[in-house]
């Protein structure tokens, strides 16, 4: 294993394989023809969020377990899960400790180090790689391709192409996870206004919902069957304007984009005033509910009639 320092330099397409002895991964997979011209992973990073991510954006442990349970049911207890943009591993660490094989890919070494702290000594395989430039995974192995709150950060055409390449010939499930906030929630309201301000500054926020819809539609053109988005976990949160604003100040960029410091500062100042007028004291808290939602597709088997599909497995969980 390499030291923390050895991950700080360099942004090659596939930089290093960390914490991993899995036979499913290959660092020498040829990605040279797979680099979309407009993709620039270096423009936005989660490196400086690794320590605060779980506190700021994490799920309750019980909810992460509920999500992992549904995903594990999809695999019927075994098979290979590829987790794209695995992050600090709140869900991935539960998957990795189950009976299926698990490979988590993330571009950010600090996020993976935070993930690593949650893992036992022999479970799971974490690979540091730019998933926007091809996945260091052997073809035809994956039973489940999972991406939680990360698929919108990657070029959709590459996501589709790599999923089809790594999917098991007998079929596979693609599950895209996201956190949904209640319509009237404070965070949803602040986020909407922040996105409006970014747009006014000529910066287009990265939208998870639109990206997931694009991916699902694209998979459908390859014969995949979409499943209805399902809520697989819900939890209550206490929210305060001051917390959202501080969290945005602390992390780099806004809404998945790198933003010049001056613009970011102007936007956050405006949001502070706006929020004070609309929601009152920044330290006043209110309760709301958040949900974890899975959407995605079932990829048909290439050579057999065997097929897995989430609709059968999570039929008892809440439809959205």
Q: Which residue's CB atom is positioned nearest to ligand SAM?
A: 87
170 vs 294 by CB, closer to ligand SAM: 294
Binding pattern to ligand SAM, positions 213-232, x when CB under 6 A? --------------------
106 vs 170 by CB, closer to ligand SAM: 106
Work out which of 103, 131, 175, 186 binds ligand SAM, going by CB under 6 A. 131
**Is residue 85 within the footprint of ligand SAM (CB under 6 A)?**
yes
Kindly state the helix (H) or strand (E) to which residue 156 belongs, with its residue range: helix 156-166
Q: Which stretch binds ligand SAM (CB under 6 A): 2-10, 17-25, 103-111, 193-201?
A: 103-111
107 vs 313 by CB, closer to ligand SAM: 107
Cα gap 24→31, rounded to integer Å: 16
31 vs 170 by CB, closer to ligand SAM: 31
147 vs 171 by CB, closer to ligand SAM: 147
51 vs 272 by CB, closer to ligand SAM: 51
Q: Which long-range contacts (CB under 8 A, 24 or more apart) does 202-206 make?
A: 203/254, 203/255, 203/257, 203/259, 203/263, 204/257, 205/254, 205/255, 205/256, 205/257, 206/152, 206/153, 206/255, 206/256, 206/257
130 vs 171 by CB, closer to ligand SAM: 130
Interface with ligand SAM in residues 32-61 (CB under 6 A): 41, 46
DSSP state string for 211-254: HHHHHHHHHHTTT-EEEEEEEEEEEEEEE-HHHHHHHHHHSSSB
To ligand SAM, the closest distance from the beta carbon of 43 in angstroms equals 10
**Is residue 136 within the footprint of ligand SAM (CB under 6 A)?**
no
The DSSP 8-state label assigned to residue 163 in this structure reads H
Calculate the alpha carbon distances from 75 to 103, 190, 309 in Å.
Answer: 14, 38, 10
Q: Which stretch binds ligand SAM (CB under 6 A): 28-36, 100-108, 198-206, 299-307?
A: 100-108
105 vs 198 by CB, closer to ligand SAM: 105
Strand 101-106's sheet: what is its strand order? 125-128, 101-106, 80-84, 144-148, 172-181, 286-299, 225-239, 318-319
**Is residue 106 within the footprint of ligand SAM (CB under 6 A)?**
yes
SS3 at position 271 = helix
First and final CA of the chain: distance in angstroms?
A: 43
Quote the tokens at residue 109.
């070494």
Beta-carbon neighbour count of residue 263 at 10 Å?
15
The residue behind tokens 């479970």 is 123
Binding pattern to ligand SAM, positions 141-180, x when CB under 6 A? -------xxx--xx--------------------------
Work out which of 63, 108, 141, 295 binds ligand SAM, going by CB under 6 A. 108
Kindly state the helix (H) or strand (E) to which residue 147 belongs, with its residue range: strand 144-148
To ligand SAM, the closest distance from the beta carbon of 48 in angstroms equals 11
Cα gap 286→305, rounded to integer Å: 51
Chain residues in the site for ligand SAM (CB under 6 A): 41, 46, 85-87, 90, 105-108, 111, 130-132, 148-150, 153-154
């Amino acid at each position: 294993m390499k030291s923390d320092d050895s991950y700080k330099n360099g942004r090659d397409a596939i930089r290093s394989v960390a914490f991993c002895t899995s036979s499913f991964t290959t660092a020498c997979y040829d990605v040279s023809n797979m680099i979309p011209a407009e993709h620039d992973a270096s423009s936005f990073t989660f490196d400086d969020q690794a320590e605060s991510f779980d506190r700021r954006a994490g799920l309750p442990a019980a909810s992460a377990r509920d999500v992992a349970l549904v995903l594990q049911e999809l695999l019927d207890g075994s098979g290979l899960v590829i987790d794209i943009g695995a992050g600090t591993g709140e869900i991935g660490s539960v998957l990795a400790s189950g009976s299926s094989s698990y490979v988590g890919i993330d571009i950010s070494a600090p996020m993976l180090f935070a993930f690593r702290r949650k893992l036992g000594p022999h479970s799971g395989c974490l690979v540091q790689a730019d998933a926007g430039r091809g996945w260091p995974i052997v073809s035809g192995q994956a039973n489940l391709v999972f991406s939680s709150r990360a698929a919108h950060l990657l070029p959709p055409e590459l996501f589709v192409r790599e999923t089809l390449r790594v999917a098991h010939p007998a079929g596979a499930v693609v599950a895209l996870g996201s956190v949904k906030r209640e319509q009237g929630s404070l965070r949803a309201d602040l986020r909407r206004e922040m996105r409006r301000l970014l747009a006014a500054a000529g910066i287009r926020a990265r939208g998870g919902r639109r990206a997931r819809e694009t991916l699902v539609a694209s998979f459908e053109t390859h014969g995949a069957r979409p499943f209805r988005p399902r809520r697989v976990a819900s939890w209550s949160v206490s929210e305060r304007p001051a917390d959202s604003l501080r969290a945005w100040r602390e992390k780099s960029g806004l809404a998945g984009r790198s933003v010049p410091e001056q613009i970011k500062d102007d936007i956050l100042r405006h949001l502070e005033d706006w929020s004070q007028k609309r929601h009152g004291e920044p330290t006043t808290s209110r309760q709301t509910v958040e949900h974890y939602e899975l959407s995605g597709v079932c990829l048909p088997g290439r050579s057999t009639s065997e097929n897995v599909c989430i609709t059968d497995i999570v039929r008892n969980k809440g439809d959205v």
